[in-house]
């Protein structure tokens, strides 16, 4: 059986994960999610990996959870669903994740894309939460992250009708940060990853954590978290190096200390 998750790199600080179940439009079964979760463990532990890119094919990023697998689970099976731990692993990943999305990003596929910190879409991308058509509802953030990303009205429209939105609409709504030609989506995502890989790793880590807190905390708490994180950076060698390099008109050499 072909490997359902291809791993490349790290090259220039970036690892690329390619979802690879072409016969099922990259539907996310437990095995694929497990492989992704373990690949993230490896990437987390590797100091040479500074960012990861998750992508699919030109036709589909991922068409959702595997419907055949889901159909075999009853209430207890869903309650004890091993996929939940895999989703939590993705959410916990401390380094930046960039999603390069072409084609269908539906249901769990849209939810996986929303786990990314930066989302780049090809012009042919379609984002949707069609679970309602199956008599179910989103189960990996499609009613929560989607609201925070596109606002309640559009999220409600998508989740209640199951209608997908285009890449252009996703850009207008703030779900994606850039659109490009489908054949350039991955290249652009890798380029962004490489740019992040050249920054000071501890500053990157705390920036990601701090931006994410904006969704979990009220403004006063979030500002307090930001101030503490900012203060922590004052103890890093990379901060000194960054400030020195600017004043000496040279490129900084960050070491992650
Ligand atoms: N699962 C399994 N197989 C799928 C699939 C899916 N989600 N999507 C597509 N496929 C398979 C098709 O069955 C078909 O297989 P064969 O018949 O060739 O064997 C093959 O991929 C090609 O699909 P189509 O022939 O349908 O291709 P089309 O271009 O005509 O249509 C489509 C593309 C994306 C519009 C269509 O395939 C489609 O509507 N797919 C289903 C999309 C969908 O409903 N997605 C939501 C699934 S529910 C949770 C976490 C997450 C979730 C739930 C819980 N927890 C942690 C608790 C997520 C739930 C979901 O995502």
pLDDT tens-digit profile, the chain (257 residues): 569 999 999 999 999 999 999 999 999 999 999 999 999 999 999 999 999 999 999 999 999 999 999 999 999 998 999 999 999 999 999 999 999 999 999 999 999 999 999 999 999 999 999 999 999 999 999 999 999 999 999 999 999 999 999 999 999 999 999 999 999 999 999 999 999 999 999 999 999 999 999 999 999 999 999 999 999 999 999 999 999 999 999 999 999 99
Does 104 contact ligand 1 (Cβ within 6 A)? yes
pTM of the model: 0.97
Does 107 contact ligand 1 (Cβ within 6 A)? yes
Which residues, other chains included, contact 146 with Cβ-Cβ below 8 Å and sequence gap of 6+?
A: 110, 114, 129, 138, 155, 158, 159, 175
Distance 168 CA to ligand 1 centre (A): 23
Q: How would you label 33-49 residue by residue, b for 16+ Cβ within 10 Å and e otherwise?
A: bbbbbebbeebeeeeeb
Distance 113 CA to ligand 1 centre (A): 16
pLDDT at 187: 98
- Integer Cα distance of 130 and 106 in angstroms: 7
How big is the chain by its Cα radius of gyration, in Å? 19
- Integer Cα distance of 25 and 92 in angstroms: 26
Structure token pair of residue 148: 């925070």
Tell me which of 56, 62, 63, 111 is the catalytic residue.
111
């Amino acid at each position: 059986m072909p490997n359902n998750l291809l791993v490349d790199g790290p090259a220039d600080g970036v690892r690329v994960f390619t979802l690879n179940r072409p016969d099922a439009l990259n539907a996310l079964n437990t095995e694929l999610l497990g492989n992704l979760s373990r690949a993230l463990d490896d990437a987390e532990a590797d100091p040479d990996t500074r960012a990861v890119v998750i992508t699919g094919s030109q036709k589909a990023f991922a068409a959702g959870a595997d419907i055949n697998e889901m159909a075999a689970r009853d209430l207890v099976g869903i309650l004890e669903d091993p996929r939940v731990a895999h989703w939590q692993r993705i959410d916990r990943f401390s380094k930046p994740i960039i999603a390069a999305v072409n084609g269908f990003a539906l249901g769990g596929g849209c939810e996986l894309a929303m786990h990314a910190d930066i989302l780049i879409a090809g012009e042919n991308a379609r984002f949707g939460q069609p679970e309602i058509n199956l008599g179910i509802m989103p189960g990996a953030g499609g009613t929560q992250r989607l609201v925070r990303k596109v606002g309640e009205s559009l999220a409600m429209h998508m989740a209640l009708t199951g209608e997908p939105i285009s890449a252009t609409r996703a850009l207008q709504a703030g779900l994606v940060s850039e659109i490009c030609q489908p054949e350039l989506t991955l290249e652009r995502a890798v380029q962004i990853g490489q740019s992040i890989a050249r920054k000071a790793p501890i500053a990157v880590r705390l920036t990601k954590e701090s931006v994410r807190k904006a969704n979990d905390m009220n403004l006063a708490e979030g500002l307090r978290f930001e101030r503490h994180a900012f203060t922590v950076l004052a103890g890093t060698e990379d901060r000194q190096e960054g400030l020195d390099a600017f004043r000496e008109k040279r490129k900084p050499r960050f070491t992650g200390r």
